[in-house]
């Protein structure tokens, strides 16, 4: 039996929303401790009367905090931004109803490994709603007041992050891509650049609006992990000074806190991606050497957790991304295959890090994207089996028909084809695998 659903009628929450019926067996002690800290920050009182209308907002905040504890890389860093976002969404009837429905799905996923049928229906209806709104907005003429048009576009994107995140844990990757298909033109109208201009990526990643930052980061990383083109064309200047600027910004709901990958490395992936379009860039040894040398000079913010194991795990996840950048640099830009000594050196460094941290949901749940990038380069069956063991112990990767499982299927396709054909992998193998698994 699934978790009872909160009512959205008259702003009331059902008596059964939160209480003794919850099965907390899927929450480990570390998650439970972080949950209590989050609830303290949000001023949530577990014993409050669930029938009181004024308690709707606190209960929604509790749903968000329960989900964030197990699904967000550094939940304590995003909690204030999350609280402000939820409060803002309660300012209108439409956004309040949507947020309560999102919270209903979150609370189930924060505790159970699967959604019940009612939550599956809710999530599907949320997807239909935001896609319909996106298409409706794009069908309207551009406002003569650019600022007003951008504000409307931003409002249309509300709920995108939550819906995509929930779909990633429960639905095939292709479902999330269809949502992004409809959101992409809305995002473009939310950007200040004129039509035909490239979108300035550093400006977006430094923008205070989370939906803008999240879409751009998702666009870049989906391209990196599937081999498909980005939805938008980006202007990507890159320098260590710009990286330092990003590091100092330290937005509390920054992407590093959500996914475990720093903005600076997202920007570097994007720059390498753009260089792939320039003839001869991969043969420019000076440029390639400069990129690798400066990769190690990028400062990643230190984790401040008082839990040493948590701190080590977070640091390892972020350092794994450096090795993923090197694999991408040589295989995507320089068109090296997986037998290239530079690629082998990077994937061996990655595997040393992975083997050096204890298996478990944390940090393994945050390694999936870097595992896809580096996994393409892994040729030894022992290393492949290590990744399989780590990936299949995270339930949303193990479950067929989820985004994580689709990622594993892409790797398995590459490993099988290269083994049968007795050859090293090349970057184009990722695009072939993505077409097979995703159907696009």
Q: Are 35 and 76 in contact (CB under 8 A)?
A: no
pLDDT at 301: 74
CA–centroid distance for 334 within its chain:
27
The structure tokens 């009837």 sit at 93
The whole-angstrom separation of Cα 252 and Cα 250 is 6
Q: Is the pLDDT of residue 322 over 70?
A: yes
- Residue 93 confidence class, pLDDT cut points 50, 70, 90: confident
Q: State pLDDT tens for residues 101-112.
A: 999 999 888 777
- Residue 363 confidence class, pLDDT cut points 50, 70, 90: confident
For residues 355 and 7, the model is more confident at 355
Single out the residue of 88, 85, 66 nearest to residue 6, CA to CA: 66
Q: State pLDDT tens for residues 131-154.
A: 999 999 999 999 999 999 999 999
- Residue 34 confidence class, pLDDT cut points 50, 70, 90: low
CA-based radius of gyration for the chain:
22
The whole-angstrom separation of Cα 318 and Cα 261 is 6
- Rounded to two decimals, the pTM is 0.89
Q: Is the pLDDT of residue 406 over 90?
A: yes
Q: State pLDDT tens for residues 206-261.
A: 998 989 999 999 999 999 999 999 999 999 999 999 998 888 776 544 578 889 99
pLDDT at 45: 57
Q: Under DSSP, is residue 250 helix (H, G, I), strand (E, B) or coil?
A: coil
Neighbours of 243 (CB within 10 A): 22
The whole-angstrom separation of Cα 114 and Cα 123 is 13
- Residue 313 confidence class, pLDDT cut points 50, 70, 90: confident
Question: Is residue 165 exposed (0-12), middle (13-18) or buried (19+ Cβ within 10 Å)?
Answer: buried
The whole-angstrom separation of Cα 356 and Cα 316 is 9
pLDDT at 253: 46
């Amino acid at each position: 039996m699934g978790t009872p659903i909160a009512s959205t009628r008259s702003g009331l929450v059902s008596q059964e929303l939160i209480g003794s019926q919850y099965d907390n067996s899927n929450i480990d002690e570390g998650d439970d401790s972080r949950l209590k800290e989050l609830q303290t920050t949000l001023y949530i009182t577990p014993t409050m009367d669930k029938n009181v209308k004024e308690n709707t907002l606190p209960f929604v905040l509790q749903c968000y905090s329960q989900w964030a504890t197990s699904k967000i890389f550094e939940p304590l860093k995003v909690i204030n931004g999350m609280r402000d976002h939820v409060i803002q969404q309660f300012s209108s009837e439409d956004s309040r109803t949507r947020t309560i429905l999102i919270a209903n799905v979150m609370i189930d996923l924060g505790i159970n490994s699967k959604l019940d049928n009612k939550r599956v229906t809710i999530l599907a209806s949320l997807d239909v709603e935001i896609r319909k709104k996106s298409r409706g907005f794009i069908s309207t003429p551009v406002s003569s007041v650019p600022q007003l048009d951008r504000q409307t576009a931003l409002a249309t994107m509300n709920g995108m992050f939550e819906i995509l995140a929930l779909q990633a844990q429960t639905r095939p990757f292709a479902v999330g891509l269809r949502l992004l298909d409809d959101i992409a033109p809305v995002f473009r109208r939310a950007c200040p650049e004129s039509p035909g201009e490239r979108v300035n990526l550093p400006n977006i990643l430094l923008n205070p609006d989370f939906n803008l930052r999240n879409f751009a980061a998702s666009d870049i990383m989906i391209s990196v992990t599937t081999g498909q083109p980005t939805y938008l064309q980006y202007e990507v200047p890159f320098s260590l000074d710009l990286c330092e600027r990003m590091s100092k910004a330290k937005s509390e709901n920054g992407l590093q806190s959500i996914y475990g990958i720093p903005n600076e490395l997202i920007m570097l992936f994007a720059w390498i991606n753009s260089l792939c379009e320039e003839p001869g860039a991969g043969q420019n040894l000076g440029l390639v050497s400069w990129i690798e040398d400066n990769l190690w000079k990028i400062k990643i913010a230190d984790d401040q957790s008082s839990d040493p194991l948590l701190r080590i795990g977070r640091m390892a996840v972020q350092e794994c991304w450096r090795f993923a950048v090197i694999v991408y640099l040589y295989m995507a830009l320089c068109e090296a295959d997986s037998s290239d000594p530079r690629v082998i050196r990077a994937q061996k460094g990655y595997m040393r890090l992975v083997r050096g941290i204890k298996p478990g949901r944390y940090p393994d749940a945050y390694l999936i994207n870097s595992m896809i990038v580096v996994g393409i380069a892994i040729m030894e069956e022992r290393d492949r089996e290590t990744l399989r063991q780590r990936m299949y112990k995270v339930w949303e990767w193990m479950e067929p028909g989820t985004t994580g499982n689709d990622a594993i299927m892409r790797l398995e396709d590459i490993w099988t084809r290269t083994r049968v054909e007795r050859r090293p992998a090349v970057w184009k193998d990722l695009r072939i695998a993505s077409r097979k698994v995703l159907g696009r």
